Amino acid sequence: MFVVTSNQMYQAECSAVKRGMTFPQLMENAGTACAKIIKKRFCITRENPRRVLVICGKGKNGGDGFVIARKMWEYGCKVTVMLACGEPKAKDAADMFSLVESAGIDIIRYDSNLTVLKQYLDETDIIVEAVFGTGFSGSLNQSLSVLAQAVNSASAPLVSIDVPAGANCDSATVSGTVFKADITIAVSAYKPIHIMKPCCKYCGRLEVADIGITDEDFKSLDSVACFTLDARDIKEMLPKRKPVSNKGTYGHALCVCGSMRMTGAAYLSVSGALRCGAGLVTAAFPKSAYAAIAPKLTEPLLLPLEPNFEGTLAFSAMADILEASKRASAVLIGCGLGFNKDTVHLVTNLVKELKAPMIIDADGINALSTNIDILKEARAPIILTPHPGEMSRLCGKSVAEIIENPIAIAYEFAKEYGVTVALKTANTVVCGGNPVKIYVNATGNSGLARGGSGDLLAGMAVSFLAQGMAPFNAAVSSVYLHGLCADAVAEKTSMRGMLPSDVLNYLPELFSKFE
């Protein structure tokens, strides 16, 4: 599903008009599609009509609302239209309003009279809000804030059309009062407010109304449109398990991870690679950490290597890693690796020498940041999985800048260096491919905000990469499933108390839903 800004949505509409549609037709399609969703959601029939209050603005979103009101009236519902901002001004909306008037549908004008307003809210079964849509910015005025508060306090469910009034579509922010929807019907595509945390919570459950705008219309935009995926998409993307197969069928992941001080990073990353289906996994770590790491890793192959005096891998381990990589179909570098002169030299040289696709995480990214242009000398595809602090070291921008605009920063970096970037924020952004695509993840919760979560994610990604997935797809699938698994664990336990190992241990049960 595409995730587009208000301007991109308008461009897509213009593209559809060039194909022969008209703006009034698009408005009619939008209102009709939304009405059908409401009808289905609330089981409306001639024998089971509902009382519907449609609150309309004076622009295009209000025009969609007028069409919805007319369609709900045609379904046999008792419909009242409330003009929240006065008479419609946009021509198409005014034309749709005239059809509402011609049908004899009840029309009232909102005037901040709370007694009258409460009466209407108490007498309705469904409230439909179509006040501003994607064009809103800033905050609601005092009069509309009063209306929003009253609607939010009503017992009837609220359905917002495209964007809840009071929410800023593109920045995905809320300033002041907002209509808190139980259901938001996104017109044609998702908008940033629908999926970007934390303000996506004001949208409630999401539905999408198909109004006749095609994928080609979105692909014709003058800027790259983001997209998001759901469980059905991920299921189609995952490598299939074959009835006749062996361990060699599902790839060999080499995980160069861990040190004396960070043994858990090796355990979580290697275990994540195993749990996600790699046929063989080799754990390469310093010999000095053997007593701490080996007892926890009974399934993978172990490759203890020469340590330095800090308990991390020595640069002299390079030859053994390169030899092991000849048998690997993907390599993970960095989880718990440590940061010193040896590991910096090791990582930068591995980037130049390895021929298997790589995931670089944590201290591997920190090592790269000392010589970022080394990425342009890589002989194999690379996935980077930075959090904002690591991304700051890679690109030279502040953490605040990265959190404010993660999509643009990840996109520009992926484009410049020819890598796939999974930038881990509240909504992890994955950018990669040729041409560069932008995926925005909607799964996950704050329970993942603790050490070890990124190690697990990196292990999952190298597993999918080893099984033959393209780098971008491997990154997207691991990010989605990592978050989905954390959501399931949080429901069973809590976000506060959940550990990365809890997410790891739930993976087999999660995968049962994808086979």
Question: No. of H helices and E strands in the chain?
Answer: 20, 20
Q: What is the pLDDT of residue 113?
A: 76
pTM over 0.85: yes
Q: What is the pLDDT of residue 109?
A: 93
Q: What is the pLDDT of residue 343?
A: 97
pLDDT grade for 116, boundaries at 50, 70 and 90: confident
Q: What is the pLDDT of residue 222?
A: 87
* CA-angle at 360, arms to 357 and 365, nearest 5°: 145
Backbone angles phi, psi at 46, to 5 degrees: -60, -35
Contact (Cβ atoms closer than 8 angstroms) between residue 140 and residue 164: no
Q: What is the mean pLDDT of residues 276-285?
A: 98
Q: Alpha carbon of 317 to those of 288, 346, 459: distances in Å?
A: 13, 8, 21
Q: Is the pLDDT of residue 112 over 80?
A: no
Q: Can you tell me whether residue 107 is helix, strand or coil?
A: strand
Q: What is the pLDDT of residue 19?
A: 93
Secondary structure of 155-205 as H, E, C letters: CCCEEEECCCCCEECCCCEECCCCCCCCEEEEECCECHHHHCCCHHHHHCE
pLDDT grade for 111, boundaries at 50, 70 and 90: confident
Give the H/E segment covering residue 40.
helix 23-41
Tens of pLDDT, residues 383-403: 999 999 999 999 999 999 999
Percent of the chain with pLDDT over 90: 95
pLDDT grade for 226, boundaries at 50, 70 and 90: very high
DSSP 394-426: HH---HHHHHHSHHHHHHHHHHHHT-EEEE-SS
Contact (Cβ atoms closer than 8 angstroms) between residue 83 and residue 66: no
Q: What is the pLDDT of residue 206?
A: 97
Q: Can you tell me whether residue 368 is helix, strand or coil?
A: helix
Q: Distance between CA atoms of 120 and 103, rounded to whole angstroms?
A: 20
Q: Is the pLDDT of residue 144 over 90?
A: yes
Q: Distance between CA atoms of 174 and 226, rounded to whole angstroms?
A: 21
Give the H/E segment covering residue 348.
helix 341-353
Q: Distance between CA atoms of 459 and 470, rounded to whole angstroms?
A: 16
Q: What is the pLDDT of residue 160?
A: 98
Q: Distance between CA atoms of 199 and 208, rounded to whole angstroms?
A: 18
Give the H/E segment covering residue 10.
helix 6-18
Judged by phi (left if over 0) then psi (alpha if -120 to 50, else beta), residue 277 lies in left
Q: What is the mean pLDDT of residues 435-440?
A: 96
Q: Distance between CA atoms of 362 and 342, rounded to whole angstroms?
A: 16
Q: By C-alpha distance, which of 439, 416, 417 is closest to 428? A: 439
Q: Distance between CA atoms of 86 and 91, rounded to whole angstroms?
A: 14
Tens of pLDDT, residues 309-318: 999 999 999 9
Q: By C-alpha distance, which of 420, 411, 350 is closest to 382? A: 420
Q: What is the pLDDT of residue 188?
A: 96
Q: What is the pLDDT of residue 147?
A: 95
Q: What is the pLDDT of residue 378?
A: 96
Q: Distance between CA atoms of 20 and 358, rounded to whole angstroms?
A: 47
Q: What is the pLDDT of residue 89?
A: 84
Q: What is the mean pLDDT of residues 332-341?
A: 97
Q: Is the pLDDT of residue 515 over 90?
A: no
Q: What is the pLDDT of residue 11?
A: 96
* Residues contacting residue 115 through CB under 8 Å, at least 6 positions apart: none
Q: What is the mean pLDDT of residues 99-113?
A: 92
Q: Distance between CA atoms of 438 and 3, rounded to whole angstroms?
A: 10
Give the H/E segment covering residue 117.
helix 114-122
Side-chain-side CA neighbours of 341 within 13 Å: the count stands at 2
Q: By C-alpha distance, which of 497, 488, 469 is closest to 276? A: 469
